[in-house]
Chain A
Amino acid sequence: MNNLFMVVDATIKGNYNKLTRHRMPGAMPFGAKYRLIDFTLSNCKNSGIRNVAIFPYGNYRSLSDHIGSGDRWDLSRRKDGIFILQPKNLNLKSEDSISFQRMYEHIEYFMRSSQEYVIVTPANIVWNIDYNDVLNNHTLRQADITEVLSIDGTRLKTFVLSKDLLLSFIRNYDDLQYRNLTEVFDYSPSVNKNAYVFESSCFFINTPEELFKANMALLEIDTRHQLFNPQRPIFSKETMSSPSRYGDNAFVKNSIIASGAVIEGTVYNSIIGRKAIIKKGAVVKNSVVMNQCIIEDDTLVQYSILDKETKVLEKAFVNGSIDDLFISEKKQIVVSDKGLKVLQIAVECEPFVKTGGLADVVGALAQNYSKLGVESSVMMPLYPRIKDKYRVLLEMRLEAIIPYGQKNYKVTLYSYLDKNTNFYFIESYDFFDREMIYGYEDDGDRFAFFSKACLSLIDIFEELPDIIHIHDWHTGLIPLLVKNDERAKNVKTLMTIHNIDYQGIHPAGILNRIGLTDVVSYKPTINFMELGLNNASTISTVSPTYHDELRYEYYSKNLVEIINRRERDFYGILNGLSEEINPETDLTIKVPYSANTVFRDKPINKKYLQEIMNIEVGENFFVLGMVTRIVEQKGFDILIPALEEFMAQNNVEFVLLGTGEDRYIQKLKELEVKYPNRFRLNIGYDATNPYYIYAGADAYLMPSRFEPCGTSQMIALKYGTIPIVRQTGGLNDTVEQFDTISKKGNGFKFYNYDSKDLLFQLHNALNLFTNGDSILCHQLIQNAMSAHFSLEISAKSYVELYRAMIGLNNQ
């Protein structure tokens, strides 16, 4: 009898973007006929393990459907067998690996299991391993905990330990400073650790790129031999497709084809799933085509992952590249994208006017769309400062009278063509001829009027746009107006939430004034964002993690219900950073530098920072930097107590540039008084160029309570300044915990909104910088500088989303 039972960690969410909208990673199709979890469960069967618990998160229907009773893996047993242990506390968010708290929810399972040892392993590893080899190594080495590494050093989050030890962690989850086995392995000084290196083919799949690479590796004979060993077969759910059928014009080279597929076209270097249909004139190259996709005539598909039941219509070109795969959504219809027309409507846009990150995104998307062959236009109000600056470039297009409330207002429409993007400006003396963009009592009327004017002037387009993309609450009434507009009612609308805290609550009379007399409001006020979220065809937000967080009231507050109701049309697309931000071309810093010169030149910038901030100069200080608004959102409630303790280390310096709330500034000033040589605030210089801080600091702090996307951490990474962040929103999507074993990751992050946890990571970073191995330290800086977040990538994701929106229309 086998002395090992297994915990399958299917709580790992990975970063699959839309591939996991309908399933969890374990249920991800792989290798034409498998799902990722088939490998783990088959290894189980082949290792004689008969007691398996799967801990899933979120949407595990597709997983439990696939597993059924487990009889395919001999796990339908009278004693033991397979158990899917659902989450009980739905407020526990998914993490990087399964927490002891999550296991505690099913502690009975652990107590009842009769085996002496347990293996904890993720559901998304493709490998063919005998777990007994790991156990034997573990007992031979007399280890307390053994982690499995791949031959290239990837940590596989697969641990063997005794049931008693695991139980002791689970029982004390609320008392313990480690949340999961990875943390125990990395930080616990009291357990005897052992690493087991698995020497055969192995793919730990967390991203679409890794999924693609692992699929392609199946085309190599060695990989196939190592994964598909006839003595240890990989079992999968039985299905009933006929054998693969090839037609007269089939031309297939170097490809894997599952049963039920019908091939009449050309296929090179690809993996074709069950019942996929490749028609006569279709060419599929270097792609992963999942089950039941249909590729019609005269199409080209390359470097793509087509999720199940994607349909590529005639003459469509699906053009990914090796660095930038095209990924479709389940059941997406991909049409030819020639002539996709996108109109963005916003109240600010770079380079014309900017108060926050929103303007950067709108402007950069517009320009990138033009590069991608999309007909891109933007509509925005004409503020005096734009008119002053761009007067000679603006072309007057027409004048119109727009009724609003009881009155008629005159507007003038201007346009400006820049790099193939059409910018339209609406001038109104009554509403926009003011100094500031926001902050007036009649903001509700101003932006309602703007929205109405946009719809009234939409005839300027000979052909209506396919998509109207609106940003934040100001344009929240547009979807409703579109629905009520005879000509535009079939135009799809996308609303992007940049920050759900600003919702635009204004008098309900606005609905009447704007002409929406049918819409009844029972309250004296209306909520612009709520109306937008209710009426837009599709909604999105600015990072995948913020997208997930908005499902919880803690983040989305009064809008939690509507967010959850619209889950099926809700997407998270990470913002990027402008390509222009680059330490190599930054003339505002002391010495520009690149990844090649960073170790020589960053110390010079550090010295300059210390001098200009008037703190003690010295290379051995660990300098923490911040450039931020000093407000509650940015985490000052946990930051100040953490700093009070951390500044006691006499080799730590702290600099901050920003403005904000007095209650925090007062406390920070007390610290400045206490540590005059090592703590410096630069309050109020909001407009000062902050890049000398990014260039000079060793680490950059962002302990935000929430952060929809955030750009500072991306700037810090680009400048080789190590971010220490809370694991929330875009911070979680851009910063990866540095791991000293695999040397992967680009920063430090902590999960709980708690100063103790922040402090723990501060010490962790300090330790690495001052006592650690300088090779490791350099590796971390190199990793940070090679992180790549560009708005071009975001633009491509949005274009894919637009296409999906149009595709779904055709169903």
Chain B
Amino acid sequence: MKRSLIAMILVGGKGSRLNEITKDTAKPAVSFGAKYRLIDFTLSSLSYSNIDVVGLITQYEPYELMNYIGNGGSWDLDTIEGGVSFLTPYAKSGEVQWQKGTAHAISQYFNFVKQYQADHVLILAGDHIYKMDYQKMFEHHLKMNSDITIASVDVPQNEATRFGIIDYDADTSIKSFQEKPEQPKSLHASMGIYLFKTAVLEYLLKDVEHGESLDFGINVIPRAHNEKFRLYAYPFKGYWRDVGTIESLFQANMDMLDDPAYLDLNLSKGIQIYSKSMNLPPHIVLEDGMIKNSVIADGCIIDGTVLHSTVGYQTVVMKNSVIENCVLLPSTFVSENVYLKNVIVNKGVIIPSNYRLIAKEITVIDSSNLSEAGEIDE
């Protein structure tokens, strides 16, 4: 069935900067804020924006992500003619088609776009924390008769070098585009969210097979700009984080703790962030439990002290243990007499009794590096 707008989500590479955390988890399936996964934010925004045809391009550890998303029902995306489709690597004439860049990935699944005869394609990343009504962006795109619209958010000066920086006029038409510049011309960062006219996208991806135009930020957008396509920015106001690194993932968790109205997650108005239910009982605080400035998900048992931390679902903190300034990913087990500070504990890790780690900078612990990272006080 014909759609005017469909969405493609790029799950991207290994997320190697998150090392242990993405060891066996695709980046969008990484846990965040005790009960969410990164992909929840994008899928919930799509649901709110009434975009129900979603292609999810994934090639790395897809199983957990596929299992989590299922038919998209938890996000109300399981409509009869739409839904979430997983676009995974396949062998073509005996050769597995690994993706070589963001644009390359889209070009491999261009048939998906054609199948829905979509006029416009929204290209999203699966690992950002934000809430966005894509219909507003689409309205802007149509109003400007734009060929490519790029969502943009203002970032602090010191971070500008991490992003693609766009400079635009008062009418939002894009003047220049720099990928990770040393001397940024503006503080408008590209959010990696692109809205293309399908015909323009098809034209620009034509050469991709010849090793050109592999990546949107590096190749496709600069080329489109050079070829005088109509490029517009869509300025986004609101909270947005790309949590591609340990530090940014940790910081986003801390943002959630420090702002009681963080992303209005508890309001039932506007964009609701859905996540898949784990069918867990609510958490319980026992006689010796003490929790301050923290968020706790379902299924936890807390009998120790939790200070300024996010605690993922089904986590146990035993007596006389102190968790301070930490991010505990789901199903962590903290035994008795443990002291952790400034630590991200990977999911499912069992912290033995009397373990101690007061980290100077944010440290990820995992079953593999447990004994090197901290020590056991006897």
B-contacting residues of A (Cβ < 8 Å)? 31-33, 71, 219, 224, 227-228, 233-236, 238, 240-260, 262-263, 275
Contacts and interface: CB of A to CB of B under 8 A. Distances in A.
Contacts of A263: 291
19 contacts: A233-B280, A241-B265, A241-B266, A242-B295, A243-B298, A244-B295, A245-B260, A245-B294, A248-B292, A248-B293, A252-B285, A252-B291, A253-B285, A253-B286, A253-B287, A254-B286, A255-B285, A257-B282, A259-B297
B273 interface: yes
Contacts of B292: 246-250
Contact of A32 (B282, B290, B294, B296): B282
B277 A256 contact: no
Contacts of B298: 33, 243, 258-259
B297 A243 contact: yes
A234 B279 CA distance: 6
Contacts of B59: none
Contacts of A259: 35, 282, 297-298
A244 B285 CA distance: 12
Interface in B62-113: 73-74
A474 to B, nearest CB: 48
B272 interface: yes
A249 B295 CA distance: 14
A257 B34 CA distance: 14
Given A224-B281, A260-B266, 16 more contacts: A233-B279, A233-B280, A234-B281, A238-B74, A240-B268, A241-B265, A243-B295, A243-B298, A246-B293, A251-B290, A252-B289, A254-B287, A257-B284, A257-B296, A263-B291, A275-B266
B304 interface: no
Contacts of B280: 233
A254 B286 CA distance: 4
A238 B281 CA distance: 12
A219 B274 CA distance: 29
B283 interface: yes
B284 A255 contact: yes
Contacts, number: 106
Interface in B91-139: none
Most buried by A among B274, B295, B311: B295
A71 B274 CA distance: 17
Given A240-B273, A243-B33, A246-B294, A256 B73 contact: no
A246 B283 contact: no
Given A71-B73, A259-B282, A247 B293 contact: yes
Nearest to A239: B277
A221 B64 CA distance: 32
Nearest to B293: A248
A240 B272 contact: yes
Among B74, B274, B291, chain A packs the most CB atoms within 10 A around the CB of: B291
Interface in B1-52: 33-35
Contacts of A228: 281
A244 B256 CA distance: 12
- Do most interface residues of chain A lie in helix, strand or loop, or is the interface mixed? loop
Contacts of B262: 242
Contacts of B276: 238
Nearest to A273: B282
Chain B CB within 10 A, most for which of A236, A241, A248, A259:
A259
B295 A253 contact: no
A453 B159 CA distance: 80
A530 to B, nearest CB: 42
Interface in B285-335: 285-287, 289-298, 306, 310-311
- By secondary structure, the B interface counts as loop
A257 B286 contact: no
Nearest to B264: A242
B230 to A, nearest CB: 38
A256 B296 contact: no
A250 B35 CA distance: 20
A240 B285 CA distance: 22
Interface of B: 33-35, 73-74, 260, 262, 265-266, 268, 272-277, 279-287, 289-298, 306, 310-311
A228 B276 CA distance: 19
B289 A243 contact: no
Chain A to chain B: the 4 pairs with minimum beta-carbon distance, closest first: A242-B265, A243-B34, A258-B282, A32-B282
A635 to B, nearest CB: 50
Contact of B289 (A31, A233, A244, A253): A253
B266 A257 contact: no
A66 to B, nearest CB: 14
Nearest to A249: B292
Contacts of A253: 285-287, 289
A246 B284 contact: no
A256 B285 CA distance: 6
A250 B291 CA distance: 7
Contacts of A249: 292
B65 to A, nearest CB: 19
Contacts of A254: 285-287
B266 A256 contact: no
A240 to B, nearest CB: 5
Nearest to A238: B277
Nearest to A252: B285
A287 B33 CA distance: 29
A234 B272 CA distance: 24
Nearest to A271: B282
A252 B293 CA distance: 12
Contact of B266 (A227, A235, A242, A247): A242
Contact of B296 (A236, A244, A275): A244
B84 to A, nearest CB: 17
A721 B290 CA distance: 54
Contacts of B33: 242-243
Residue of B74, B294, B296, B311 ringed by the most chain A CB atoms within 10 A: B296
A240 B274 contact: yes
Nearest to B288: A253
A224 B281 CA distance: 9
- By CB atoms of chain B within 10 A, which of A219, A248, A255 has the most? A255
Nearest to B296: A244
Nearest to B280: A233
A245 B282 contact: no
B282 to A, nearest CB: 4
B273 to A, nearest CB: 7
Contacts of B74: 238
B283 A256 contact: yes
Contact of B291 (A240, A246, A256): A246
B35 A262 contact: no
Contacts of A262: 260, 266
A637 B371 CA distance: 87
Nearest to B265: A242
Contacts of A227: 281
A210 B296 CA distance: 29
B364 to A, nearest CB: 21
A586 B347 CA distance: 71
Contacts of A236: 277, 279
Contacts of B310: 243
Contacts of A243: 33-35, 295-298, 310-311
Contact of A31 (B34, B281, B291, B295): B281
A299 B311 CA distance: 29
B59 to A, nearest CB: 29
A275 B264 CA distance: 13
A660 B276 CA distance: 69
A244 B286 CA distance: 16
Nearest to A241: B266
A248 B286 CA distance: 18
A245 B295 CA distance: 4
Nearest to B263: A242
A430 B49 CA distance: 76
Contacts of A233: 279-280
A257 B285 contact: yes
A719 B97 CA distance: 88
Chain B CB count within 10 A is highest, among A240, A247, A248, A251, for A240
